[in-house]
Chain A
Amino acid sequence: MATYILKRFLQLIPVFLGATLLVYFLVFSLPGDPIVALFGDKPVNEAVAAKLRAQYHLDQPFWIQYLLYLKSIFTFDLGQDFSGRPIAAVLGEVFPVTARLAIMALIFEAVFGIIFGLIAGLRKGKLFDATVLVASLIVIGIPIFVLGFLLQFTIGVQLGWAKPTVSSAATVQDLILPAIVLGLGSFAYVLRLTRTSVIENMNADYVRTATAKGLSRFRVVRVHILRNSLIPVITFLGADLGSLMGGAIVTEGIFNVPGVGNRLYRAVLSGEGPTVVSIVTVLVLIYCLSNLLVDLLYAWLDPRIRYDS
């Protein structure tokens, strides 16, 4: 197992290099001159512009810029964003907020998705199952920004059950509504996945064996059906953690959450290559690590899977 984990960590190196190169190239190819954009409506002062270009190495060719960026990563000096703040400090500010949001969303979708999916699966074809299936289709069908505004207005503004916007501290309480909005789509998928998986396992021979042993229905479900049914669900949840971290742009925009999505959006608009690449690289690493975690969980849940050959 240890060799396997080590191997997976070594695999992170090419992923890291590839991701940074690709993202750096994409940002480099964006149309428009970020320095000119900095001046806004004011006339461009050529001397200042040239100085800024030199400071951010924008006068260098692509490869030099990329290598300089790599160097900055390995010297732990990510440089500064256009407003002059160290990028490392920016990362340290936005990632905890988004991590909190993403984990809350993950807990929400996991707990409710699995519970609803389990009940729907056990009562296949009954009213609860049908209702939940239709509701999950609706949730999947409605775009997240519509859902976001809808919940913000009804629950946040009209009913006043949760705060409609998020303070700069972004406390857990502030983030409840955004986390639900962020997790709703995946919640529907988790629900459907759990349901299908439970239905499949309910008819498995070993479930009949468990019943024939005299176990109560509850114990058959909890011990024999649930664990087997969770195997595909866990895979989905792990992969989803990465998506939640990076995909919160819309939700963070709606609720004004000072997180990764907001900052990334601004950085893309202003063409801040190093900031964009830094954020995306961290996201890629989180994605890889959560996938590794899933694979380890997988082996734990299903003893048939062994990574040592």
Chain B
Amino acid sequence: MTDFITVDPAQPSAPGKGDVVLEVRDLSVDFGVDKKWVPAAIRLNYEVRAGEVLAIVGESGSGKSASSMALLGLLPSNSRVSGSVKLAGKELLGGSEANIRAVRGKDVAVIFQEPMTALNPVYTVGAQIVETIRLHNEVSPDQARERALRMLELVELPDPEKAFRSYPHQLSGGQRQRAMIAQSLSCDPKLLIADEPTTALDVTVQAEILDLMRNLRNKLDSAIVLITHDMGVVADLADRIAVMRRGVIVETGTAAEIFHNPKHEYTKALLDAVPHLGQGGEADGDVDVTAALAAATQADLEAIPHEELLRRERANAAALAAAAETAKPQGDPVLELTDVAIEYPKQGRVPAFRAVEGANLAIYPGQVVGLVGESGSGKTTIGRAAVGLLPVAAGTMKVVGQDISAAKRNGRQLHEMRRHVGMVFQDPSSSLNPRLPIGESIGEPMFLAGVAKGAELQTRIEALLDQVELPRNYRNRYPHELSGGQKQRVGIARALSLKPKLMVADEPTSALDVSVQAKVLELFQNLQKELGFACLFVTHDLAVVDVLADRICVMQRGRIVEQGSRDQILRNPQEPYTQRLLAAVPLPDPEKQRERRELRAQLLSGAS
């Protein structure tokens, strides 16, 4: 191992100025499927220097993960890898198993996407980190333990001793990801591969982990390969970017080049598809959230000149005033919650759990209300209760004029009510019956409600397929023959089939790639305008409600902490939680993200 170039920690490294740590030449990856080689990555070339973050960006199926796992030989056995991967000048591919094993975990460490499942559930966090340390270093158990504790401290876990003794399930998602990072850094790797490290996390937790990774990068001088689909994360962390599509790197460049002057069509399309929450662009209605937050908290930012900030704040206030003059809602509310509490009923010895408390909310005809919050905030619970899937424990809930708070489970009243309510679910793959052709899935609600039969039913199904812009001949296809976006279109068509007055959409686009998400959201928006249904749109993604919603409700720990029109919430957030949530959303623009980051730091220090 002595022939490795050692990085001098005393030398401060400007990004891209360090030695080349990883050099990838003509790397190709193929997977054997049905006795044919299907390429996943084709002749990739890139290098990463010490202290530099290279982001590999792409949508699902672009080969970004497969090519990165190939660096360490972590692909399944039906794969074939060719080309050259040099780590500090030493070839990694084609060597013996023992060779690559000595590199894994020591010189190259990996952080995986799902902190939930990436740690072994039956061993303590400490034991797993100690295992790594002792594998690559000749140290006593006590020394390894000490080092593990230091690593846990380094990743800013509040109580390293306790984290050391904890099993993965006893930690929160963010803590688990910190433990994972501690483990991967425990042998001072030259190269860190982070495979979607924040994708599974809530946005505020994601911001914390990104902060941590930025700090560590400065401290440790490792090279980092960041694999992600999230342009906001890229803007926050990356020095250089490689954009991948269908196995090929279509464009590489510095972060500034890619974001401000994308050359390739695909890069442009990808950047356009990213819903940029309040980036403050020129387009009408774009919200400058940074200015809004700065105004609401009277913050002063180093990244923006004072005059400039004031100008942006004034523009923001003017836009808010203009928005206030838009039409007031008309008619009776389609969904009305008054002091509603919702409980998950007692199950055996597990006591009832109150997931929502004191919720007040009204949706008027034709209105889209975005219900935002992080995991466990109770947003999905409200959505489920609105279609009668969960009982109302207190307060009154009126759906399409009927009070369903006291309705019997599976009783006639709910049955009647559900004819006026459509629901779109999060995971399009599992919410369609795999054994029904999609035409039948779409037609089933109409058939069951007795609305249409025979030839008339077929006509209606075709009309619905037209509406969601799917070819009519798709009706006989099965769900597995469709892509994710197409499946979600089917889900929307099914929800529309009874011409609902209220639509409950539960994270309908969160499982989709950004470019697909953009198209599905556009379709949804057009359908909503055309058909005029009211909609409760449940999501964790503030950028999505920014696009869609007339009103926004922010939920935290089972309570609606703030609600108002889209412009009130985004341009003038009052509650500290709303402000924190807005500040945590990374912007797909490195400069704007720097402003946002500074603002977030001020918000957090002001709060503590």
Interface residues of A (CB under 8 A from B): 204-206, 208-217, 223-224, 227-228, 301-304, 309
* B118-166 at interface with A (beta carbon < 8 Å): 118-122, 124, 131-132, 135-136
CB distance from A198 to the nearest CB of B (A): 15
Contact of B74 (CB < 8 Å), options: A211, A223, A228 = A211
B31 CB–A CB distance under 8 Å: no
Kindly state the separation between the CA atoms of A209 and B179 in the bound complex, as whole angstroms.
13
Additional 6 contacts, C-beta under 8 A, given A213-B104, A215-B131: A205-B117, A208-B74, A209-B120, A214-B105, A228-B121, A303-B124
A208 and B112 in contact, given A213-B132, A214-B135 (Cβ under 8 angstroms): yes
B410–chain A nearest beta-carbon distance, Å: 30
Residues of chain A contacted by B190 (CB below 8 angstroms): none
A81 to chain B, nearest CB (A): 43
Contacts A213-B131, A214-B106, A215-B131 hold; do A204 and B117 have CB atoms under 8 A apart?
A: yes
CB distance from A106 to the nearest CB of B (A): 23
Is the CB–CB distance between A214 and B74 below 8 Å?
Answer: no
What is the CB-to-nearest-CB distance from B138 to chain A, in angstroms, rounded to a whole number?
A: 14
Q: Does any Cβ of A come within 8 Å of B519's Cβ?
A: no
Evaluate contact between B183 and A213: CB separation under 8 angstroms.
yes
A206, B135: Cβ atoms closer than 8 Å: no
Closest chain B residue to A208, Cβ basis: B74
Q: Which residues of B contact A209 (CB under 8 A)?
A: 110, 112, 118-120, 180
Asked if residues A303 and B104 are in contact (CB atoms below 8 Å), the reply is no
Contacting B122 at CB < 8 Å: which of A205, A228, A309?
Answer: A228
**Which of A205, A210, A214, A309 has the most B CB atoms < 10 Å from its CB?**
A214
Chain B, range 54-94, C-beta contacts under 8 Å to A:
72, 74
Alpha-carbon distance A266/B423, docked complex (angstroms): 65
Contact of A303 with B119 at beta-carbon distance under 8 Å, contacts A205-B114, A208-B74, A309-B349 already known: no
CB-defined contacts of B119 to chain A, threshold 8 Å: 206, 209
Q: How far is the CA of A309 from the CA of B103 in the complex (A)?
A: 44
Q: Which residues of A contact B118 (CB under 8 A)?
A: 205-206, 208-209
Shortest Cβ distance from A211 into chain B, in angstroms?
Answer: 6
**Cβ contacts under 8 Å, A215 to chain B:** 101, 105, 131, 135
Q: Which of A204, A211, A217 has the most CB of B within 10 A?
A: A211
Chain A residues contacting B106 (CB-CB under 8 Å) are 214
CB distance from B349 to the nearest CB of A (A): 7
Closest to A205 in B: B117
Chain B residues whose C-beta falls within 8 Å of the C-beta of A228 in the assembled complex? 120-122
Task: Tell me the bound Cα distance from A206 to B74 in angstroms.
Answer: 13
Instruction: Give the CA-CA distance A33 to B442 in the complex, in Å.
Output: 67
Residues of B within 8 Å of A304, CB to CB, are 121, 167, 169
Q: From A217, which residue of chain B is reached at the shortest CB distance?
A: B97
- From B119, B121, B180, residue with most partner A Cβ within 10 Å: B121
**Chain B: minimal CB distance from A303 (Å):** 5
In whole angstroms, what is the CA distance A209 to B135 when docked? 14
Contact B110 A214 (CB under 8 A): no
The answer to the question of B109 belonging to the interface, with a C-beta cut-off of 8 Å to chain A, is yes
B531 within 8 A of A: no
Instruction: Sample 27 A-B pairs with CB under 8 A, ordered by A number.
Output: A204-B117, A205-B118, A206-B117, A209-B112, A209-B118, A209-B119, A209-B180, A212-B109, A212-B110, A212-B112, A213-B104, A213-B105, A213-B132, A213-B135, A214-B103, A214-B132, A214-B136, A215-B105, A217-B97, A223-B131, A224-B120, A302-B122, A303-B121, A303-B169, A304-B167, A304-B169, A309-B349
- Closest chain A residue, CB of each to CB of B180: A209
Contact assessment for A206 and B121 in the assembled complex, using a CB-CB cutoff below 8 Å: yes
CA distance A215 to B105 in the complex (A): 9
A204 contacts across to B, CB distance below 8 A: 117
Alpha-carbon separation in the docked complex, A209 to B104 (Å): 10
By the criterion CB–CB under 8 Å, are A205 and B112 in contact? yes
B102 an interface residue at 8 Å Cβ cutoff? yes
Q: Nearest 4 pairs between A and B by C-beta? A: A214-B105, A214-B104, A213-B105, A205-B117
B74 & A212 in contact (Cβ 8 Å cutoff): yes
CA distance A227 to B118 in the complex (A): 16
CA distance A206 to B106 in the complex (A): 17
Q: Are B135 and A210 in contact (CB under 8 A)?
A: no
Which chain A residue lies CB-closest to B72? Answer: A212
Q: How far is the CA of A204 from the CA of B132 in the complex (A)?
A: 18
Nearest chain-A residue to B132 (Cβ)? A213
> Which chain B residues border A303 with CB–CB below 8 Å?
121-122, 124, 167, 169
Q: How far is the CB of A162 from chain B (nearest CB, A)?
A: 39
